[in-house]
Amino acid sequence: MSHITWINVNEKRVTDDQIKQLEQYVNYSPLSKA
């Protein structure tokens, strides 16, 4: 159960703007560059 629950993606529809912000945020994460 390691879903992205910290952003409540399962409970809400993710808008394009939120997706863009998510992508930028994930790009800052060292885990994204695997």
**Closest of 2, 11, 8 to residue 22, by C-alpha:** 8
Distance of CA 13 to the CA centre of its chain: 12
Give the pLDDT band (50/70/90) at residue 22.
confident
Is the pLDDT higher at 26 or at 10?
A: 26
Is pLDDT above 70 for 5?
no
Answer yes or no: are the C-beta atoms of 14 and 22 closer than 8 Å.
Answer: yes
**pLDDT band at 16, cuts 50/70/90?**
confident
In the prediction, which pLDDT does 21 show? Answer: 86
**Total number of domains in the chain:** 1
Looking at residue 30, the DSSP 8-state letter turns out to be T
Residue 30 CA: distances (Å) to CA of 6, 15, 20, 24, 25? 17, 24, 18, 12, 10
In the chain, pLDDT over 70 holds for what percent of residues? 41
